[in-house]
Amino acid sequence: MDAVSKQTAAKIEKLAEAVMRTVKGGNNPFVEIPIRSLANVRWSEKKRLVELGNQRQKRYFFNVSMAKKFMQTFLVSDACKELVESGKTTSIRDLYYVTKHTIGDTKQNTFEEQDESDPIIEDLEVALDSLREELHLFASRKGSMVGPITIRDSGDTIDLRRMGSGGWAVPSIVEENIIQFVRHEAKYILLIEKDAVWTRFNEDKFWKRERCIILQGGGQPPRGVRRLVQRLHSELKLPVYVLVDNDPWGFYIYSVMKQGSINLAYESMRMAVPDARFVGLSSFDKQKYKLPDNVAIKMDDGDNARAKQMLAYPWFKHAKWQREIAEMVSSGMKYELEALSRRGISFITEEYLPKKLKDRDWLE
């Protein structure tokens, strides 16, 4: 086992040993788990991250309402320890089937549906302070990457300068023991919201001209993409720019990349990039880049409610962000990145983004 796997296995063993000591002491065995709820999430001004608070709960074995979850916690723990020690990985869907069985002579199953096992995995993550990926669990891969960088993926050396039109498919598990950065000439990282826009940047060889790494996560970036961006930023000291639609969803994608998400607040330190910069599409770009009225999309009630909600977020309290969001609300319009194509199919790669970067026209 590598060092990360040994550490993860040791954490699982420590969790089990603590329970055994309680049993031997004649007490009700329990496992202590940080509470994953909105009430236990806080904004750290100092770290500029959404993070989990200090509230914890004890899950007891001799408790009618807790016994099943107690059992499920250690079923999942045991399965993950076996994966870690064998050097194998599996999907969270597969783990559900691995741990699902009938208990003794009863008709009671350990798990009925996957929506029972998924929260247990998250409980185990926070209890062990380990990423799901360190437990050797992965989700469906989603995301593409190209750029002037050579990596090593599970022992295979891959040149991301030679990945054709599709790019390198970013895996779910991108930890140091799986993915290593060999060499690079990149000046920055560009995270693009949509596959179609990323394809334009790749086809136009923007990454080669600008010496940057371009990634996309197909909307809200999955954990693998977010973790990889965070690693590229922290280990290679590369600035991160986020290119998203001018709508509440695009702003939210940027927010999650920068501050972390409320649902995964316990992983913000390993997923978020507080120094990430927003490079568009801005609420003021319609006038600046002379976009015609017919490329605008009317905001619906859900969009307006979400935008107004964002005005209250502490990380959007800066005057520039208040002005940005207020402009969107007052105009009642939103714009997709593809709207820039009205100025020319390669306008976004040849004029729009180069000008934004040159003029330092971004939000933080």
**Contact criterion met (CB below 8 Å) for 8 and 134:** yes
Among candidate residues 60, 96, 97, 241, the one labeled active-site is 97
The first and second tokens of residue 278, run together, are 């927003």
Q: What is the 3-state secondary structure (H, E, C) of the chain?
A: CCHHHHHHHHHHHHHHHHHHHHHHCCCCCEEEEECCCHHHEEEECCCCEEEECCCEEEEECCCCCCHHHHHHHHHHHHHHHHHHHHCCCEEHHHHHHHHCCECCCCCCECCCCHHHHHHHHHHHHHHHCCCHHHHCEECCCCCEEECCEEEEECCEEEECCCCCCCCEECCCCCCCCCEEEEEECCCEEEEECCHHHHHHHHHCCHHHHHCEEEEECCCCCCHHHHHHHHHHHHHHCCCEEEECCECHHHHHHHHHHHHCCCCCHHHHHHHCCCCCEECCCCCCHHHHCCCCHHHCEECCHHHHHHHHHHCCCHHHCCHHHHHHHHHHHHHCEEECHHHHHHHCCCHHHHHHHHHHHHCCCCEC
Verify whether residue 266 is a known catalytic residue. Answer: no
The Cα–Cα gap between 320 and 274 comes to 17
The first and second tokens of residue 208, run together, are 């080669």
Q: Would you please indicate which residues are annotated as catalytic (active-site) residues?
A: 97
